């Protein structure tokens, strides 16, 4: 579709001109028109890449569509209601500077617009546009202190059992290839498969034994269907046939005697497909006990700027979201932090001088990497593992890595040190050992040695000294006081979830979920920017400054 001609100049017949008196200077829609809409117009050069130069039917103006998407997340309305807002809501029309009598469009236009954004790598255009506006307004610096944390996103699919996932994958595959397979070319088992997986549903009240048999049965049928389809031209090219092959490989295993059996719990991959309607949504468990959260879906990393100064009484937050990374649910926070660093570098943001995070982001390797980049990674290091509750942990050994010496809790120095640098070691590691005779006579051997262990050994990584230093620092009161800067990220997560609906995603697929999270973060930043503008305007009025000077930043 070709782009229409667009003019940012207002007219006597624009809603902004006709209804300006209805909106006071502190109104959110007036401030949207003053602060946000000019930034959206400036983003038109990026949006042009999603359209043809001058061929095809004239498209709906992308500036208006991007503005509608941002207002949707700001006010929390779906596509159909968004069009009704354009029809009846004066605030929306004022914010977007729409002309009187301007023709509306169908709600599905918004769906196709989002498709264009995703297909042309413009999923983050709304978020980046607002962030650049905040930087130009001096509210965010390109190099600023940040806090980082993740929260879970519920996928737009139901949580399926293993047998349900395999059976549903079979149903989708059979329905996909049905038009391409004439009746006389179908295998003899086709009628059985169709009746078993398309015309019938699994009874969730079935006993465990029945479900185990159903899983084995569906695995055998999937194996037979895939073997037959691979002999036919083009049948394996479909989306759901390829997905069935993945599900089969993830859920079943062929033994050496070619017998088929379901994989045990220890053999299941954390990346396996949980629901064929959204293969990107994975399973994750976080926390323990009553605080344990198990879900199928995604994880989103949120980075927020940190204002080191104290806020004045009544002053709204000075923190803004400066990074959004969406991951599959099973991915680690450390991997998410690495993706965040790459994303911020692409947005021309410098690494933060100080990054506040929790223990999931802190390891010996990450502390060393952060120090090499000039970043202070502020977060508690996790305690060392213990063989038993009363056993000594690695923290109770005084390690001097440069001298290759370690003193055990009994005050005895190691007798040997070996460097481990190979395929079995994760990076460079060092193994400290104590002589068997020393450990045999040691009065603390019951707490130090494991069952059947004759002498003590200790393996640490090459960056263990950084980890040991952090474990000592985090016990000090000053460290705990500084870590209070991290706490506000929990409130930001709550705002994104409660005010903008981030927790249950509206979409399926990692790419589309990522786009939704970008729009959610952009809406949060818009709201905070408007609140600060109102607060600054109130201060300016009290100081007797010219009215309206504050409104345009």
Q: Mind listing the pLDDT tens digit for each residue in 152-175? A: 999 999 999 999 999 999 999 999
Q: Is 543 or 117 the better-scoring residue by pLDDT?
A: 117
Mean pLDDT of 363-367: 92
| pLDDT in the model for residue 349 | 97
Tokens (6 digits) for 190 = 């086709």
On the question of pLDDT at 552 being above 50, the answer is: no
pLDDT at 256 over 70: yes
What interhelical angle do 62-75 and 510-542 show, nearest 10?
80
Q: Is-contact 244 169, C-beta < 8 A? A: yes
Which candidate, 65, 28, 49, 26, places its Cα nearest to that of 519?
65
Is the pLDDT reported for residue 380 higher than 70? Answer: yes
More reliable by pLDDT, 427 or 467: 467
Strands 252-254 and 260-262, sheet pairing: antiparallel
- What confidence category does residue 7 fall into, taking pLDDT thresholds of 50, 70 and 90? low
pLDDT-derived band at 441, boundaries 50, 70, 90: confident
| Own/partner pairs, 344-353, CB within 8 angstroms, 24+ separation | 344/303, 347/128, 347/131, 347/323, 348/142, 349/142, 349/143, 349/322, 349/323, 350/142, 350/143, 351/143, 351/375, 352/143, 352/144, 352/145, 352/146, 353/143, 353/144, 353/145
Nearest Cα residue to 69 out of 49, 100, 47: 47
**What phi, psi does 303 have (nearest 5°)?**
-110, 135
Confidence of residue 553 (pLDDT cuts 50, 70, 90): very low
Task: Determine the average pLDDT of the residues in 245-264.
Answer: 92
pLDDT (average), residues 443-464? 88
In this structure, the number of other CB atoms found within 10 A of the CB of residue 170 comes to 24
Q: Where is 376: in which H helix or E strand?
A: strand 376-378
Rg of the chain on CA atoms, in Å: 30
Query: Average pLDDT for residues 514-540, to the nearest whole number?
Result: 95
The confidence band for 428, taking pLDDT boundaries of 50, 70 and 90, is confident
Arithmetic mean of pLDDT, 52-62: 80
Average pLDDT value for residue range 342-359: 96
Query: What value does the mean pLDDT take over residues 65-88?
Result: 96
Instruction: Determine the Cα–Cα distance for residues 332 and 282; give it in Å rounded to an integer.
Output: 13
Please report, to the nearest 10 degrees, the dihedral formed by the alpha carbons of residues 517, 519, 522, 527 taken in order.
Answer: -110
If pLDDT is split at 50, 70 and 90, which confidence band does 99 have?
A: confident
Query: In whole angstroms, what is the distance from residue 102 CA to residue 4 CA?
Result: 14
- Burial class of 97 by CB neighbour count within 10 A (0 to 12, 13 to 18, 19+): buried
**Residue 390: what pLDDT?**
82
Q: What is the mean pLDDT of residues 88-108?
A: 89
What is the mean predicted confidence (pLDDT) over 516-540?
95
Q: Contact, 127 vs 519, CB < 8 A?
A: yes
CA distance 529 to 96: 17
Residue range 304-347, pLDDT digits in tens:
999 888 889 999 999 999 999 999 999 999 999 999 999 999 99
Average pLDDT of the chain, as a whole number = 91
Better-predicted residue by pLDDT, 155 or 53: 155
Strand (E) positions, 222-375? Answer: 252-254, 260-262, 282-286, 293-305, 321-328, 354-356
Its pTM stands at 0.91
The residue-averaged pLDDT of 541-549 equals: 66
| Residue 405, φ and ψ in degrees, nearest 5 | -125, 145
Phi-psi sector, 27: left (phi>0), alpha (psi -120 to 50), beta? beta
pLDDT at 382 (0 to 100): 84
Count the alpha carbons within 13 Å of 386 in the hemisphere toward its beta carbon.
11
For residues 523 and 502, is the Cβ–Cβ distance under 8 A? no
Residue 96 pLDDT > 50: yes
The pLDDT of 419-423, averaged and rounded, is 75
Mean pLDDT confidence for 358-380: 93
């Amino acid at each position: 579709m070709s782009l229409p001609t667009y003019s940012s100049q207002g007219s006597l017949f624009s809603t902004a001109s006709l209804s300006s008196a209805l909106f006071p200077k502190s109104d959110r829609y007036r401030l949207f028109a003053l602060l946000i809409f000019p930034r959206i117009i400036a983003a038109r050069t990026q949006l042009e890449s999603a359209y043809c130069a001058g061929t095809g039917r004239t498209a709906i103006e992308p500036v208006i569509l991007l503005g509608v998407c941002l207002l949707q997340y700001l006010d929390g309305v779906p596509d159909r209601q968004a069009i009704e807002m354009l029809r009846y809501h004066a605030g929306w029309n004022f914010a977007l500077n729409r002309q009187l009598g301007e023709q509306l469009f169908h709600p599905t236009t918004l769906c196709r617009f989002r498709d264009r954004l995703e297909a042309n790598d413009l999923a983050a255009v709304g978020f980046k546009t607002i962030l650049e506006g905040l930087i130009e307004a001096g509210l965010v610096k390109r190099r600023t202190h940040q806090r980082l944390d993740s929260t879970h996103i519920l996928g737009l699919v139901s949580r399926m059992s293993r047998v349900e996932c395999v059976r549903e994958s079979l149903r989708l595959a059979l329905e996909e290839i049905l038009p391409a397979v004439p009746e006389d070319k179908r295998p003899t088992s086709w009628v059985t498969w169709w009746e078993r997986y398309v015309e019938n549903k699994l009874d969730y009240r079935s006993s465990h034994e029945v479900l185990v048999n159903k899983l084995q049965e569906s695995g055998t049928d999937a194996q037979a269907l895939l073997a037959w389809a691979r002999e036919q031209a083009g049948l394996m090219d479909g989306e759901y046939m390829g997905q069935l092959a993945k599900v089969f490989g993830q859920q079943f295993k062929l033994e050496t005697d070619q017998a088929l059996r379901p994989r045990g719990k220890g053999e299941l991959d954390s990346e396996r497909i949980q629901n064929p309607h959204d293969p990107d949504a994975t399973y994750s468990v976080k926390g323990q006990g009553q605080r344990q959260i198990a879900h199928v879906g995604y994880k989103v990393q949120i980075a927020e700027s940190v204002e080191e100064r104290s806020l004045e009484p009544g002053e709204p937050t000075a923190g803004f979201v400066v990074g959004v990374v969406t991951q599959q649910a099973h991915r680690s926070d450390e991997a998410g932090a690495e993706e965040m660093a790459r994303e911020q570098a692409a947005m021309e943001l410098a690494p933060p001088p100080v990054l506040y995070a929790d223990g999931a982001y802190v390891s010996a390797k990450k502390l060393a990497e952060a120090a090499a980049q000039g970043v202070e990674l502020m977060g508690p290091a996790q305690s060392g593992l213990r063989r038993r509750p009363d056993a000594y942990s690695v923290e109770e050994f005084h390690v001097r890595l440069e001298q290759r010496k370690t003193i055990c809790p009994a005050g005895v120095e190691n007798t040997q040190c070996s460097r481990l640098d190979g395929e079995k070691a994760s990076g460079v590691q060092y193994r400290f050992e104590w002589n068997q005779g020393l450990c045999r006579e040691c009065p603390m051997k019951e707490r130090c040695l494991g069952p059947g262990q004759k002498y003590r050994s200790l393996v640490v990584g090459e960056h263990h000294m950084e980890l040991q230093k952090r474990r000592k620092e985090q016990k000090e009161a000053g460290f705990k006081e500084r870590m209070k800067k991290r706490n506000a990220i929990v409130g930001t997560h709550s705002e994104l979830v409660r005010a903008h609906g981030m927790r249950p995603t509206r979409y399926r697929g990692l790419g589309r979920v990522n786009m939704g999270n970008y729009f959610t973060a952009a809406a949060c930043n818009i709201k905070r920017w408007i609140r600060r503008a109102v607060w600054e305007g109130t201060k300016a009025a009290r100081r007797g400054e010219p009215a309206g000077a504050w409104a345009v930043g």
